[in-house]
Structures are given as structure tokens and as C-alpha cells.
Amino acid sequence: MSVPALQVIDITKYYDVRVRRITTSMDFRNYISVLRGKRDRQMTALDHVNFTIEPGLVFGLLGPNGAGKTTLIKILSTLVLPDSGQALVFGTDAVKHPRAVLKMLQAVLAEGWGFERRLTGRQNLEFYATLYGIPRESARKRIEELLEFCQLGESADVMFQKYSTGMTRKLLVGRALLTDASVLLFDEPTSGLDPNSAADFRGFLKNVLVRERGKTLIWATHNLYEAQQVCDTIGVLNKGHIIATGTPSEVRNAIAEKVNMTITVQGNGVEPGPEGFEGISHIGGVTKVETRKDPESANLMLAVEATRDVDYNRIFETLSSMGQKVVGIEASQPSLEEAFIRLTKGDKS
């Protein structure tokens, strides 16, 4: 069995909440407490978070503002220590062996680029290669390759201060790939990009990094469209808890407690009327049945609302025993957006 690219095991992180008191009578004790930023309480940013990611997949960390996405990415990239729990990168503990882990995993954060404005893109990468201890000759070759790979060949010798947001993102990817890490963490990778650049960048990350190079990506976002487009699996994070995991459609379906379907039956002279389909409304799980004529044919349409555990066969058996011939079925699904809003509001009604 292959080792998972990443295992997050029961990670919990608290932050101290400090209140800086403003006081008019600045006596000595108040002064000290202001300087110290007196700790008042702790807030839980991550609460026993667990998930596993297999190599070569894109895992979306989807959550609203303040859910804990950046905190988790910082823990995984060894910038912040968890209060408890473990993160294993290809089986290696990120807290115990940060140097080994940083050879396998790199983060591209939303803030704090850390590039020198008066150096070119290439020089910035050279600077980081030195910092990462990559020997000069192999660094030169690697940087050349990465600049091409990240589609920055033409702007390699342009000063960083002239880089657009899109170019900056690509340079960040180049920097993250200097160590040839196989797990890449992206925090809101397309924020600040216009829709076309965002689509290009998504395509680049998914098609080139993941599909061609076999990298594993964690993609923190609150953008549902993006999550649905690029992620193989999603973990929904809310107030520090993972509240759902699965493929985008599994997450969508997990909260769909009601199913709505439209069953079209052939108009065959058996006159409808709501009472004509009484039998169906008595089937366990069916909560509503409405009928109407299809305006484009003589067919009859039944709008059936039911709970997820409804026995579909019984519906069709009942129709068949009534002499009705089913000619079409359509089931509506909730959108990922609906799922997300319901999940993160804690409203499953």
C-alpha cells in the first residue's frame, strides 16, 4: 500500500486572545499589562482536524473567512506549531523533522511574498536557492528550467517591482519548486487575479503541476466554483472543524436530505388528478407529490419530493401497477454552494 502524501491527525491549535487595555490612569501595573498584551482567553482555531490525502490529487480546503485554512497551511509548512496532533508528510512528522519535511512540501502563502523588489525574478530565485543550500551549478540549471516551466521566461530579467499579481504567483510557484517538493500547499492561489488569469493559473496548477508532474496539491479557498473545478476531494472546514469530506459531488449529496425528482409518465388516458397518485404519496419517505401536464406533449409530470432514504423501486412499482408508463426521470441536486452555505451555517433543515 502506498504511503499517503499527507496525513493530518487530530491537529488542534489555540491562539491566545489578548486585549490591550487603554487606560487613562497609567499606573505601573497597567503599564506592564499593556506592554505584555495581557492574555484574556484562548480561541480554538483548529479543533481535532483529521484527513488524509493520496499522492497526485488536489485536495480542496474549503471554508469561510476565519475557518482556520491559513492556520492549517502554516502548521503543515512548519511555520506554526500545533498544540496537539501530528502532520505526516509521506510518513515524516512535520513537527519533529521540519527540515526533512520542507524538502518534500512547500507552501505558497497568500501574504508575505518575501521577494526583493529591486532584484529580477531570476535573481530572487537565485537568492532562495542559496538560502535552501542548493549548489550553485545545479541551482542555475534548475532556475532556468523553472522560469520556463512557470511561463516566466520572458520576464526572468525584469525587476520584481514590475511584476503583476499573476507573474508574482508564478514566481511563487517557481520558488516552491526549487526544492522539487512533491506536496504543494496553496493559500487562496487565485485571489486578486482577474477571471481570465485565474482560469489560466488554475489550468496551470491542475494540468501541469498535478497531471503532468504528479504533484499533490492542497488548495485552500472559499471559492466554491474553484473547488468544484479543480479539486478531486474536498474537506469543508468551519470554525476549526472538518465538517464534511469527499468528492465535490459527495459533499453536495451528503447534505441533501431531500431529493426532488420529476417523473414523466406517458399520457395514456388514465386521468391524473392528485388523488390518482395517492398511492405514491403513501410510500415511506415521500413528502409531496404534485402533478401537471407537460405543456409540450400529452405526458404527465409528477414532481415528487422525498427524503434520501426513499425506496425508489416502490415508486416505480406503484406507477406500473397503476398502468402508468414512465418515460422520463430527472432528479435535481443541490449545488455545492447550497451545500456549503447549509453546512457552514450549521443548518441542515
Name the residues that contact ligand ATP, by CB under 6 A: 15, 45, 63, 65-71, 222
Closest distance to ligand ATP from the beta carbon of 273 (Å): 53
Q: Which does 321 bind (CB under 5 to 8 A by kind): ligand ATP, Mg ion, none?
A: none
Q: Which does 174 bind (CB under 5 to 8 A by kind): ligand ATP, Mg ion, none?
A: none
Q: Which does 252 bind (CB under 5 to 8 A by kind): Mg ion, ligand ATP, none?
A: none
Q: Which amino acid is at 124?
A: N
Q: Is the dihedral of CA 205, 209, 212, 218 positive or negative?
A: negative
Task: Record the cell numbers describing residue 293, joined without a space.
Answer: 401536464
Q: Which residues bind Mg ion (CB under 5 A)?
A: 69-70
Closest distance to Mg ion from the beta carbon of 53 (Å): 19
The residue among 69 and 142 lying less far from Mg ion, judged by its C-beta, is 69
Of 258, 257, 251, 236, nearest in space to 335 by CA = 251
Closest distance to ligand ATP from the beta carbon of 86 (Å): 19
The HSE-up count of residue 95 (CA atoms within 13 Å, CB side) is: 13
The residue among 66 and 274 lying less far from ligand ATP, judged by its C-beta, is 66
Closest distance to ligand ATP from the beta carbon of 237 (Å): 7
The residue among 24 and 65 lying less far from ligand ATP, judged by its C-beta, is 65
Q: Which does 190 bind (CB under 5 to 8 A by kind): Mg ion, ligand ATP, none?
A: none
Residue 326 — φ and ψ, nearest 5°?
A: -80, 125
Closest distance to ligand ATP from the beta carbon of 45 (Å): 4
Q: Which does 313 bind (CB under 5 to 8 A by kind): Mg ion, ligand ATP, none?
A: none
The residue among 69 and 142 lying less far from ligand ATP, judged by its C-beta, is 69
Catalogue the E-assigned strands of the chain: 6-18, 39-53, 58-62, 84-89, 92-93, 105-108, 183-187, 216-221, 233-238, 241-246, 258-265, 286-293, 300-307, 326-332
Residue 180 — φ and ψ, nearest 5°?
A: 55, 40
The residue among 292 and 345 lying less far from ligand ATP, judged by its C-beta, is 345
d(CA 241, CA 235): 10
Q: Which does 222 bind (CB under 5 to 8 A by kind): ligand ATP, Mg ion, none?
A: ligand ATP
Contact present, 264 and 304 (Cβ < 8 Å): no
**Could you count the other beta carbons within 10 Å of the beta carbon of residue 244?**
20
Q: What three-state secondary structure class fits 62?
A: strand
Q: Which does 132 bind (CB under 5 to 8 A by kind): Mg ion, ligand ATP, none?
A: none
Closest distance to ligand ATP from the beta carbon of 155 (Å): 28
Contact present, 333 and 256 (Cβ < 8 Å): yes
Q: Which does 301 bind (CB under 5 to 8 A by kind): Mg ion, ligand ATP, none?
A: none
Closest distance to ligand ATP from the beta carbon of 167 (Å): 23
Alpha-carbon distances of 64 from 9, 21, 75, 188, 291, rounded to whole Å: 22, 30, 19, 12, 40
Closest distance to ligand ATP from the beta carbon of 70 (Å): 3
The residue among 68 and 174 lying less far from Mg ion, judged by its C-beta, is 68
Torsion, Cα of 159, 163, 169, 170 (10° steps): -60
**Beta-sheet pairing, 6-18 with 39-53:** antiparallel
The residue among 70 and 324 lying less far from ligand ATP, judged by its C-beta, is 70
The residue among 239 and 258 lying less far from ligand ATP, judged by its C-beta, is 239
d(CA 148, CA 154): 9
